[in-house]
Amino acid sequence: MAKARITFHRCIQDSQDLGTDKVRDDHMISMVFFTLEMDDKKFEEMYVDVKQPFGTDFKKYPVEVSPPVGSYNGPINHDQFSDAVEKYYRSCIGSKGSGFRISSDAKNIIMRGNIVNTTMVSEIEISDQSNAW
């Protein structure tokens, strides 16, 4: 099966409310930027939207990842891609974050307009199966 190399390089955290008084108000909306390489082709300036479903616990539940936006529009393994994006996002912001480290018992965290520039490389399979975009 063909492989793709993804180089994540920036995360823009549009907004995140965590541990606020009203759990239903907890949310996160961000963008993750990356370069995709496969079959000797390079697709630059790609991005995805990353969201925390409303009413869920950011620390316990997976994030939602949109289909990739940019010059590549072929198949990609949705599960592996989403896992790689989430791993990158949580490496930037969260309990193990290099940009913003948020402890598991954090309360009343409200963040807007943060940019984290850090690089992480992942390799995933390209798929024509049902779990592909």
Instruction: Please give the backbone phi and psi of residue 6, each rounded to the nearest 5 degrees, phi first.
Output: -115, 125
Question: Can you tell me the mean pLDDT for 6-32?
Answer: 73
- Amino acid, single-letter form, for residue 57: D
Q: Give the pLDDT band (50/70/90) at residue 34.
A: very high
Q: What is the mean pLDDT of residues 85-101?
A: 70
Ramachandran angles phi, psi of 89, nearest 5°: -60, -50
Residue with the two structure tokens 């390799």:
123
Tokens of 108: 């009343």
pLDDT (0 to 100) of residue 29? 80
Gyration radius of the chain over CA positions: 15
C-alpha distance from residue 19 to each of 27, 56, 57, 82, 105 (Å): 10, 11, 9, 25, 8
| pTM of the shown model | 0.78
Q: What stretch of H or E contains 111?
A: strand 109-116
Residue 123, pLDDT score: 96
Closest CA to 60 of 94, 111, 109: 94
pLDDT band at 97, cuts 50/70/90?
very low
